[in-house]
Amino acid sequence: MARTDMMTDTGDHIRLEAIDWAIATQHPDFSDWDGFARWLEADPRHTLAYDQALAAAGSVADLAAQAAPAMPRAANDEEVGPRQKTVRRRWMIGALAASLLAVIAIPAWQMRPQPYTVTTAMGETRSIDLPDGSMIVINGGSRLGLDRGNPRFARLETGEALFEVQHDARDPFVVEAGDVRLVDAGTAFNVVRTGSDLDVAVSEGVVIVNPERENVRLPAGRRAVMAGAGGGIMLSDIAPDQVGSWRSGRLSFAGTSLAAVAAALERGLGTRILVHPSIAARPFSGVVQISGRGAGAVAAIAPVLGTRAVRRADGWELVSDDALP
């Protein structure tokens, strides 16, 4: 989209490119947001050009006054030549247009959808500070969709994330996970998505689950588990200090299937862990410490789960403790 004509003044070239992009982003059919982002990131001066254009917007009123029709002047005033008038008029119109573009185009760009994805590897965690003061801590093996144009929105595609949200009743924070919509009401909460299953636990404030449908309110110390699409919502209690305890390397489970336990261990230990189908639905309640432990810890953890760990080519498999080798 950038200009192809060669210009000797690089600063002018960048300024004109910035204006070109500002004009393009106002078109209803504009879709090259990735190209626009690449242009912004290609050279620090590109962002500066936008900042300067925005700062120039404050002089719009002055420019408009200068471009207005001249007041009658005394007959003995020095006459300004036609060429000088034309040059000055063109400069004023150009400056006014650039300022107006800065005022109109930049906020419009900032408000348009600008989705991006944050992915973590197994065993990796990552913290993200959002512009509104909220924070998201993402567990290993997770994929989270965010939007620079809407910092009050997140989509958990898979894995686990802890949300510590700055509450704003006029603009509630929304988390989507599959077809489930979670709306905050001054909240810290943990979300786990494994396939079509979802687990939401609240440590502070209130989360509203699917306000347009079930409209279930989860206060601090409550948990909702949704098994599969349309599988209903199962509610239970949870100690607030257990919510998001994976950050400190302590995994707490209450009636959790071994399949879900294995998924949690995968995220924290960074190794593939399968569960034999015959025991995948078996429930487990307890606490497992994984802080400072690596993939080799699976063999030691398995007996705590009432299972045995068998080494496989791509990781481990949990089998019944009385299963044949």
22 or 65: which leads in pLDDT: 22
Is the pLDDT confidence value at 88 over 70?
no
pLDDT for 204-251, tens place per residue?
Answer: 999 999 888 888 999 999 999 887 666 688 899 999 988 998 988 889
pLDDT for 289-314, tens place per residue?
Answer: 988 887 788 999 999 999 999 998 88
Q: Given 209, 224, 244, which residue is the final one in a domain?
A: 244
Residue 2 domain flag:
no
Residues 213, 158 share a domain: yes
Residues 293, 220 share a domain: no
CA 153 to CA 146: how far, in whole Å?
A: 6
Is the pLDDT confidence value at 90 over 90?
no
Residue 4 domain flag:
no
Residue 234 domain flag:
yes
CATH number at residue 157: 2.60.120.1440
Is the pLDDT confidence value at 148 over 60?
yes
Residue 165, pLDDT score = 92
Residue 150 domain flag:
yes
Q: Given 215, 244, 273, which residue is the final one in a domain?
A: 244
Q: Which of 9, 35, 12 is nearest to 24 (CA)?
A: 35
pLDDT for 188-204, tens place per residue?
Answer: 999 999 888 899 999 99
**Per-residue DSSP letter, 87:** H
Residues 214, 226 share a domain: yes
Residues 239, 121 share a domain: yes
Residue 103 domain flag:
yes
Is the pLDDT confidence value at 37 over 80?
no
Residues 215, 140 share a domain: yes
Residues 236, 152 share a domain: yes
Q: Given 244, 279, 307, which residue is the final one in a domain?
A: 244
Residues 211, 166 share a domain: yes
Residue 325 domain flag:
no
Alpha helices in the chain (DSSP H): 10-25, 33-42, 44-56, 60-67, 82-111, 258-269, 298-301
Residues 119, 61 share a domain: no
**Of all residues in the chain, what percent carry a pLDDT higher than 70?**
70
Is the pLDDT confidence value at 70 over 50?
no
Angle at 176 between CA 174 and CA 180, to 5 degrees: 115
Residues 74, 124 share a domain: no
Residues 88, 130 share a domain: no
Is the pLDDT confidence value at 95 over 80?
no
Residue 221, pLDDT score = 93
Residues 237, 184 share a domain: yes
What's this model's pTM, rounded to 2 decimal places?
Answer: 0.63
Domain count, the chain: 3
Residues 125, 220 share a domain: yes
Residue 5 domain flag:
no
CA 223 to CA 214: how far, in whole Å?
A: 15
Residue 3 domain flag:
no
Residue 53, pLDDT score = 46
Q: For residue 65, count CB atoms less than 10 angstroms from its CB and return exposed for 0-12, middle for 13-18, buried for 19 or more.
A: exposed
Q: Give residue 153's domain range.
A: 115-244
What are the beta bridge partners of residue 216? 209
